[in-house]
Amino acid sequence: MTVIKHHAYLFDATRCIDCRACMVACSVENNIDMDKTRIWVAGLGVTGEYPELQRGTMVYHCMHCDHPDCMSACPVGAYTKAEDGPVTYNPDLCIGCRYCMNACPFGVPHFDYDKGIIEGAFIDKCTFCPQRIYNGQEPACVETCPTDALEYGDREELIAKAHARIAEHPTRYIDHVYGEFENGGTSYLILSHVPFSELGLPNLPETPVNEVSEKVMEMTIPFALGWGAVLTAVTTGVALYDNKKKAASKEKAETTK
Amino acid sequence: MTKTISRRDFLKLGAASVGALAVGQMLPPMVAKAAKENGVLNAAGDGVISTMCEMCVWRCGVLAKIKEGRVVKLDGNPEHPHSRGNLCPRGQSGLMNTYDPDRVLTPLIRVGQRGEGKFREATWEEALDLVASKMTEIKNTYGAEAMVFSSTHNLSQPLFENLLYAFGSPNYGTQRSLCFNAMIVANLMTYGMEEPARIYDDKLKYILLTGRNLLEAISTSETSDLSHAIDRGAKVVYLDPRYTKTASKATEWLPIKPGNDLAFHLALLNIIISEKLYNRPFVEKNTVGFDELKKEVSRYTPEWAAPLTGIPAETITRIAHEFADAAPHTLAHNGWRTSNFVNSFHTQRAISILNALMGNWDVTMTEAAGEESGTLGAPPQPAYPRVSALRLDGVPWKYPVVPFKIGVFQELRDNIVSGDPYPAHGWFISRQNPIMSLPDRGKTIEAFGKLDFIVTVDIVLNDTAWFSDVVLPEASYLERYDPLLPVGDKVFLRQPVIEPQGEAKSALWIYKQLGERLGLGDFFQYEDEEDYLRQQLAPLGVSLEEVKIKGYAEAPETPHAAESAEKSWNTPSGKIELYSDTLAKVGFPGVPTWEEPPQPAEGEFYLLTGKVATSTQFGTQNNQLLHKYSDDPRLWINAKTAASLGLVDEDWVEVKSSVGQIHTPLLVTQAIRPDCLYMTPGYGHISKGLKTAFGVGASDSTVHVTFTDPISGGQALSQTFVTIKKA
């Protein structure tokens, strides 16, 4: 078996038959409560007017971003981006603030509103099945897929595979691998025959949102120090001027006495 | 409305029952003990056991992950040709059938009125004694034929057949006439075999699917094969009044008018024969009746078929050309039900013949291996008693070409109601739910009312068990052994991966116990399930222990006749019969012939049903995992039609046929013909013993009208016409 440097998924919307085996497999493998899920179906489904129709659906779970916004937003460091791909969440550190839910551009982290702080486990999302991938198995969702719509492997290899597939069938696919660059790159890569927006995917810039926000945040202290210095200088200047003025007027008053 | 439990709870529930059994009876958990001895489970009871799925009839290989005596995950077995490492959503959810909180875990005897659902728990001794005494009483009073037996096809079927044939009843009901009788009988009449296997190799170029919604009605390996063929660029032409998920992946979707698939196929035959596009050497060498066929189809031009099918003549002509151009790497898929009209037999014959004309035998189609392997052993048994009574289902006296093992289930029910040619008095039902499966539910309940005694074997209190006098709890497929299944050059084993919960027992055990009480012990000459399997394996020289570890044994296939040898078919002529003398002799047309299907009257609609990936017929709606991921059942209606009737999405409507009415919310969609409605079958359960499924959706069987194809005995499930109005 080839060594995987960066674990990733490739989803091909032209192959997905929306059977939901992946969703059931995930639920069982990860012991998900009956009223929760870590995989969703997105997309417009059937579009067009009878009988000129097409269909586009996508299954998705955590995109395991290279620059995870959840992690960036988390004030307590409950999220970790592993060097080999997975974005993991540590419930023990979580304080239930739900900043990650607002930060994630894909709406992945879900909050468990049924549980209190004492019962723990506030946020739920895909773990990348570490119990499987580090034991020579594919993630549960991938392994069961009867049409190979979901594949698993090394990110670089999957990207190459995706481009090769587009090259082989240029009329079948939109000439783009979603997630190769979006938001700075994700580990859930998507091929599609319909515009990605019809699969429910956001149009994201290549520069990750958090790269911008983090840069801004990094400037906070220098900015504060600089602005502080300016203000100090101004205050000092004003005070000096004021003193000078006061002294001058005092002098004037004394001379006019 | 629906109570759900968390998976953690159901795992606990499973553990509690196993624990209760182990402690209460002081028995060591046999499955775990044996698995540990074989090295499949470690000392803690963790590991992986190989078995086979039973969430549908495809029987994928399954690797069951066991943790502390509980099954926690099922994965597809990469070594099994039916799964190749994959499972569909039903397969993935299989453990929830086993851990269903509604499982029946002890024999039940009815105490209230029939249909009231009041039962008391009983011991196996008491329940089996009662069943045997009632069956004996019926036999002694009215004759063995007054006892009806029915079961949906499964691996323990040979023992079920032993029970009924040894008992001496001719009345054998299966589910097949509600499904694929037309296909089976058509292939028997054409090729002399029930269903040829299909070959999806890299060269396959063209696939014609007639209502075979293979990407939703999942047969894991074949669904995978079709999907990969599409991916490679094979052309798929798909006929269906509905834009299904298969339609969305097909190269070309033809929303054909229901009931007229026959016209489409007759027109294809017309072009292929008149333009001499067939494989002449193959046809001359391997078929009989070409001239009769040519004569008959000469009148079925594409121009004739166009107004019937709603498909332009030039499209039909083009498809005929493309189909023939791709030969022999071309395949017309028989499907299971095709259009589901009373003319479906002819449609199926036309499809079978279309393949024969292409000379695609051993290229895209070949002989199927079948479930029986000549290499397996079997316990000895005496000959069955001679039965002279007529069958209630009209085979063969009304349906002369329908095989005995297939039967005409709906006719059996009708004749229980009419009491003609004689009244039935008892019904033994095994893992089958005729209340839900047969058309016209009201009539099925009426048939139940005619009977003195009804017994049902199942894992839950299904709708039929709800109306029964005795319910015998079967062990689920993850809890029991079944007879071996040959697939290719291997035989696969279904074995228990956990201990049976409560008092649940395998069918092998139940049939043997009953057989012995009925004085038919000679037909069940095995000590227990393992002994039965050892007798099966004896000629292979493989130990059961070895098979339990690997999940299968090598069993050399009966070699195919060498390619150079003269190919022969198991038909009266020894050839592929384009014209069937067998059919002609009993008064049916010998070649496929046009039969005008009935049409809905003004204001009526075709009511269509069809499968979805998340359920198998009416047997999986109580599975909480499938319930979780299934779409809510709604009645599909074309957007334009809805607008013209002043109806909007999610409106509740009353749907009425000549036999019943239902209430259901609407799904307004572009994905269906304007003259059709569609509902997912299998919903609308009436047993309150199914707490997840009860009250969810409406029942197709309530409104389905019984129409039987006179040749194949198949129920015409799409021939029901309905009116709708806002509820």
Residues B405-422 pLDDT 10s: 999 999 999 999 999 999
Which of A49, A50, A143, A148 is the mutation pick for testing B, counting most B CBs within 10 A? A50
Confidence of residue A253 (pLDDT cuts 50, 70, 90): low
Which chain B residue has the Cα nearest residue A31? B7
Q: Is the pLDDT of residue B10 over 50?
A: no
A117 and A96 Cβ atoms separated by less than 8 Å: yes
Burial profile B239-277: b = 16 or more Cβ within 10 angstroms, e = fewer = bbbbbbbbbbbbeebbbbbbbbbbbbbbbbbbbbbeeeb
Closest CA–CA distance from residue A116 to any residue of chain B (Å): 17
Rounded mean pLDDT, B553-566: 64
A21 and B88 Cβ atoms separated by less than 8 Å: yes
Asked if A144 lies within 8 A of B87 by C-beta distance, the reply is yes
Tokens of B75: 């994965």
B693 and B627 Cβ atoms separated by less than 8 Å: yes
Asked if B87 lies within 8 A of A25 by C-beta distance, the reply is yes
- What pLDDT was estimated at residue B341? 93
Confidence of residue B558 (pLDDT cuts 50, 70, 90): low
Backbone torsion region of residue B693, taken as left when φ is above 0, otherwise alpha when ψ lies between -120 and 50, otherwise beta: alpha
Tokens of B626: 């499938």
Confidence of residue A113 (pLDDT cuts 50, 70, 90): confident
Rounded mean pLDDT, B514-524: 98
Q: How far apart are CA B239 and CA A159, in angstroms?
A: 36
B94 and B478 Cβ atoms separated by less than 8 Å: yes
- What pLDDT was estimated at residue A240? 87
What pLDDT digit, counting tens, does each position of B337-368 carry? 777 899 999 999 999 999 999 999 999 999 98
B526 and B379 Cβ atoms separated by less than 8 Å: yes
Which of B232, B628, B673 is the mutation pick for testing A, counting most A CBs within 10 A? B628
Percentage of chain A lying above the pLDDT 90 cut: 70
Rounded mean pLDDT, B266-278: 98
A95 and A76 Cβ atoms separated by less than 8 Å: yes
What pLDDT digit, counting tens, does each position of A142-168 carry? 999 999 999 999 999 999 999 999 999
Tokens of B82: 């039916």
What pLDDT digit, counting tens, does each position of B417-475 carry? 999 999 999 999 999 999 999 999 999 999 999 999 999 999 999 999 999 999 999 99
Asked if B670 lies within 8 A of A46 by C-beta distance, the reply is yes
Tokens of B511: 């049939």
Highest CATH level, class, for B181-367+573-585: alpha beta
A-chain residues within 8 Å CB-CB of B253? Answer: 51, 53
Q: Is the pLDDT of residue B610 over 90?
A: yes
A-chain residues within 8 Å CB-CB of B243? Answer: 46, 50-51, 53, 55
Q: How far apart are CA B635 and CA A131, in angstroms?
A: 42
Closest CA–CA distance from residue A186 to any residue of chain B (Å): 25
Asked if A50 lies within 8 A of B228 by C-beta distance, the reply is no
What pLDDT digit, counting tens, does each position of B472-484 carry? 999 999 999 999 9
Half-sphere CA count of B527, side-chain side, radius 13 A: 4
- The DSSP bridge partners found for residue B47 are B41, B66
- What pLDDT was estimated at residue A121? 65
Q: Is the pLDDT of residue B12 over 90?
A: no
Residue type, B312: P
Q: Is the pLDDT of residue B19 over 70?
A: no
Q: Degrees (nearest 5) of the Cα angle B671, B695, B428?
A: 100
B-chain residues within 8 Å CB-CB of A35? Answer: 4, 628
Helix (H, G, I), strand (E, B), or coil: what is residue A193?
Answer: coil
Fold exhibited by the domain B7-98: N-terminal domain of TfIIb (2.20.25)
Rounded mean pLDDT, B73-84: 95
Q: How far apart are CA A164 and CA B278, in angstroms?
A: 38
Q: Are strands A150-154 and A7-12 parallel, antiparallel or unpaired?
A: antiparallel
What pLDDT digit, counting tens, does each position of B121-174 carry? 999 999 999 999 999 999 999 999 999 999 998 999 999 999 999 999 999 999
B-proximal residues of A, 41-60, CB under 8 Å: 46, 48-51, 53-55
From the list B631, B656, B659, B637, the residue with the least C-alpha distance to B727 is: B656
What distance separates the 2 farthest-apart alpha carbons in chain B? 77
Closest CA–CA distance from residue A149 to any residue of chain B (Å): 10
Asked if B245 lies within 8 A of A17 by C-beta distance, the reply is yes
The helix or strand, by DSSP H or E, that contains position B291, with its residue range, turns out to be helix B290-297
What pLDDT digit, counting tens, does each position of A12-27 carry? 999 999 999 999 999 9
- What pLDDT was estimated at residue B20? 37
The helix or strand, by DSSP H or E, that contains position B487, with its residue range, turns out to be strand B485-487
On the 0-12 / 13-18 / 19+ scale of CB atoms within 10 A, B316 is buried
Q: Is the pLDDT of residue B263 over 50?
A: yes
User: Over chain B, what is the mean pLDDT?
Assistant: 93
- What pLDDT was estimated at residue B27? 47
B174 and B438 Cβ atoms separated by less than 8 Å: no
Half-sphere CA count of B692, side-chain side, radius 13 A: 23
- What pLDDT was estimated at residue B170? 97
Q: How far apart are CA A51 and CA B646, in angstroms?
A: 21
Question: Angle between the B313-325 and B261-274 helix axes, to the nearest 10 degrees?
Answer: 60
B674 and A50 Cβ atoms separated by less than 8 Å: yes
What distance separates the 2 farthest-apart alpha carbons in chain A? 103
Question: Angle between the B507-517 and B157-167 helix axes, to the nearest 10 degrees?
Answer: 10
Confidence of residue B631 (pLDDT cuts 50, 70, 90): very high
B44 and B472 Cβ atoms separated by less than 8 Å: no
A-chain residues within 8 Å CB-CB of B89? Answer: 19-21, 23-24
Which residue in B248, B629, B638 is closest to A20 by CB distance?
Answer: B629
Residue B382, preceding bond cis, omega within 30 degrees? Answer: no
The length of chain A is 257
Task: Enumerate the domain spans of chain B.
Answer: 7-98, 108-179+390-487+502-547, 181-367+573-585, 605-726
* Four-way CATH pick for B605-726: 2.40.40.20, 3.50.50.60, 2.40.30.10, 1.20.120.50: 2.40.40.20
Tokens of A18: 């929306």
- Enumerate residues 6+ apart whose C-beta is below 8 A from A211: A67, A184
pTM: 0.92
Task: Enumerate the domain spans of chain A.
Answer: 7-209, 219-256
Asked if A50 lies within 8 A of B220 by C-beta distance, the reply is no
* Four-way CATH pick for A7-209: 3.40.50.2300, 3.40.50.1170, 3.30.70.20, 1.10.260.40: 3.30.70.20
Which of A50-54, B154-158, B371-375 bottoms out in mean pLDDT, i.e. has the lowest? B371-375
- What pLDDT was estimated at residue B660? 97
B93 and B615 Cβ atoms separated by less than 8 Å: no
On the 0-12 / 13-18 / 19+ scale of CB atoms within 10 A, B656 is middle
From the list B338, B55, B59, B54, the residue with the least C-alpha distance to B221 is: B59
Q: How far apart are CA B45 and CA B67, in angstroms?
A: 6
Q: Degrees (nearest 5) of the Cα angle B559, B564, B565?
A: 65
How far is CA B467 from each of CA B432, B453, B697, rounded to the nearest angstrom? 13, 10, 20
Q: List phi, psi (to 5°) of B169.
A: -100, 140
On the 0-12 / 13-18 / 19+ scale of CB atoms within 10 A, A136 is exposed
- What pLDDT was estimated at residue A118? 72
B-proximal residues of A, 17-46, CB under 8 Å: 17-21, 23-25, 27-29, 31-35, 37, 46
Residue B421, preceding bond cis, omega within 30 degrees? Answer: yes
- What pLDDT was estimated at residue B24? 32
CATH code: domain B108-179+390-487+502-547 is 3.40.50.740
Cβ pairs bridging A and B (under 8 Å): 135
